[in-house]
Amino acid sequence: MEQESSNNETTTMEVESYESVVTKVFEEERRLQNLCRQNSVLLPNKSKKSYCTLPINQKAMKYFQKKTNDISITFEQYITERREVESSVLTLLQQCSQFISYLEMTLNNNKMETLELIFHVITDHSLLFHQYFQFLKDHGLKSSTILLRLNSIYHLIQWLRMIQNRHFNELSHVLDRLVIDRNRFNAITTMDQKKKTLESLIQARQWVEGGLSSIQNMMLDSWPYFEALVSLSKYQELKKHQYSWALGFTLSTLWVYGFNARAKSIEFMTMKDYKDMEENQFHLSINFKTSSTYGYQIVSPTDVLKIYVQFIRKQIIPEDIDSDEATLFPTSVKTPLSQGEISKKINLVFKKYGYDLCVTKLRDILSTHIEELHSSNAITPTGN
């Protein structure tokens, strides 16, 4: 009887504990939602991102993926040799195919085969290369985005020059033209960056006036919700929006409480990399754009990351199916993070406080904080 009474008491305590956790989660969600509503007026209206509206030319895509003879390589193979990520290869091919669509539209000619169309343009209408970039600029694409497309076409012409025995000189002249346009848009991009002064960033709510300490205060204010979600995860599966927010909060700590690598290095991390961090207190990542120059970037853990792995991550990848190769930061639909997704998740954390922050801005704010400490002799160049 005593044992039955004891079991009843334990059950009652567990129910009360669960109810307490659910109440706390509800209260924190309501508090943060009210905070988001209250601070939403602080965020200026952002102009919508402009996209290239030209269709992907399927005829050109087939040409880029088709061998012309047994000894040559396709444009797709040529680009794959230069790219670490498969998705970036497809993006580049699509950008070049949109250029072909522009040529067909401008010349009102969709009958010619892709190669013959390009040769026709380089011999009789070479100014169309410059006009294409101006077309993109007039349609609202950023200069940095135009540079990416310009470089894609540069690769296309280089490839043609390599595999074709016709029009070598004309193709070389086009490369000269592309270099001129590249210099132009590099200069425009540099000027755009210079316009992003600290005052303008603060006005756009993309910089926090109080610096790193103010950001850390926001994280402390959000901590009760994260803590409540950890408690809830012990009882039930988190809702998608709850898991997604907890993931964003965890990722934020990597740049608010540590000096970490760029986002791409984090996106590709696996459980093996995490175990490496636990053992050595850091992980050396080679998954970033300039790895050929700098070799590796350091990724270091935070206490919140350890809590995330111990409780939250198991909601998506249970222990019985987990492995060293599994992604460290799965999304709520059990897929690896896509490029740029870290910044989107981090943005949701700080949006509630009326700020439009991303990984780059967090890194910049942390770098500024370190520079200020150094200039005031609070730390030495070695960090002491």
Look up the CATH number of the domain holding residue 270.
1.10.443
* Residue 240 pLDDT: 95
Which pLDDT band holds residue 195 (cuts at 50, 70, 90)? confident
Does residue 191 share a domain with residue 74? yes
Does residue 371 share a domain with residue 326? yes
Which pLDDT band holds residue 384 (cuts at 50, 70, 90)? low
Does residue 364 share a domain with residue 241? yes
Share of the chain above pLDDT 90, in %: 65
Does residue 143 share a domain with residue 251? no
Does residue 327 share a domain with residue 313? yes
Please determine, for residue 383, whether its predicted confidence score (pLDDT) is greater than 60: no
- 325 close to 333: Cβ distance less than 8 angstroms: no
Tell me the pLDDT tens digit for each residue of 338-363: 888 999 999 999 999 999 999 999 99
H runs (alpha helix) in the chain: 2-39, 58-64, 75-80, 86-107, 114-124, 128-138, 143-163, 168-195, 198-203, 211-233, 240-256, 263-267, 271-280, 291-294, 303-307, 341-351, 359-375
Residue 287 structure tokens: 């998954």
Does residue 293 share a domain with residue 237? yes
Does residue 79 share a domain with residue 219? no
Beta-carbon contacts of residue 326 (< 8 Å; ≥ 6 apart): 270, 271, 317
- 114 close to 63: Cβ distance less than 8 angstroms: yes
Q: How many domains does the chain have?
A: 2
Residue 133 structure tokens: 């970039």
Look at the block and give the residue holding tokens 């390599």. 162
Of the three residues 195, 215, 237, the one that is the final residue of a domain is 195
Range of the domain at 369: 199-375
* Residue 71 pLDDT: 66
Please determine, for residue 293, whether its predicted confidence score (pLDDT) is greater than 80: no
Q: Output the DSSP codes for 33-50.
A: HHHHHHHGGGSPPPPPPP
Range scoring the smallest mean pLDDT among 89-93, 266-270, 350-354: 266-270
> What integer is the mean pLDDT of 268-284?
85
Range scoring the smallest mean pLDDT among 246-255, 262-271, 313-322: 262-271
